[in-house]
Structure 1
Amino acid sequence: MSHIVQIQTEIRDPAAIRTACQRSQLPPPVQGEFQLFNSTAAGWAVQLRNWRYPVVCDVNTSKLSFDNFEGRWGDRAELDRFLQGYAVEKAKLEALKQGHTIREQSLADGSIKLTVHVGGAA
């Protein structure tokens, strides 16, 4: 039986942030307080490609703080790729915790299809 699921992503898991960074070949996230253009933000900082300031993930509130100056200091597509990677990695972590196996497939439109085999059967 097949089911299509759409996920509203909340960034709350430091392990999934870390694996999403690895997946995207980004530097490891760093926890702390970080300077954005005219403010500071606390949480896990992710340095996206060609972004002047990091994206800061507050795992307690699921809030993202960033300043890309409407695209001048960072392409929003880079953030979207990171969020997609986070959603995939978090889903995989949760499925594995429950003893399931996962098959991942990249689709031509840029989306990712995850197939979860319940009970670990492939």
Structure 2
Amino acid sequence: MSHIVQIQTEIRDPAAIRAACGRLTLPEAVFGETKLFSSSAVGWAVRLPDWKYPVVCDVATAKVAFDNYGGRWGDQRHLDRFLQCYAVEKARIEARRKGHTVTEHSLADGSIKLTIQVGGVS
């Protein structure tokens, strides 16, 4: 039996943040206070390609702080890709923790299909 699930992503796991950064070959996320344009944020700072300021993930609140000046200081697609990879990596971590096998397929539209088989680990 198969089930289709949609996920509303909340950034709450530093291990999944690190895995998403590794998957996208981004610099390692750094925890601390980070300066944005006119403010600062505390959390895991992720440097996205060609973004003027990092994206800051507060795992306590699941909020993501960033300033890309309406796309002038950073392309939204890079943030969207990071959030997608975070969701995939978090799902992998949780499935494997429960002893399930995970397979992944990239689809033509840019989405990622994960299949989780109850039972075996891969």
TM-score (norm 2): 0.98
Which secondary structure state, in structure 2, belongs to the residue aligned with residue 120 of structure 1? coil
Percent of residue pairs identical: 69
Q: Tell me: CA distance 1:37–1:101, structure 2 relative to 1, closer, same or farther (3 Å).
A: same
Distance 2:4 2:117 in 1: 14
Q: CA RMSD in A?
A: 1.0
Paired residue for 2:84? 84
Runs of 4+ residues deviating >4 angstroms: none
**Equivalences for residues 1-122 of structure 1 within 5 A:** 1-120=1-120
- Give a deviation string over 1:40-78, Cα, whole Å, max 9, x none: 000000000000000000000000000000000000000
Which amino acid in the other structure matches residue 70 of structure 1?
G
The number of equivalent residue pairs is 122
- The Cα of 1:18 is off from its aligned counterpart by 0.1
Distance 1:53 1:20 in 2: 18
Which secondary structure state, in structure 1, belongs to the residue aligned with residue 42 of structure 2? strand
Q: Tell me: CA distance 1:71–1:103, structure 2 relative to 1, closer, same or farther (3 Å).
A: same
Structure 2: tracts of 5 or more residues without a match: none
TM-score (norm 1): 0.98
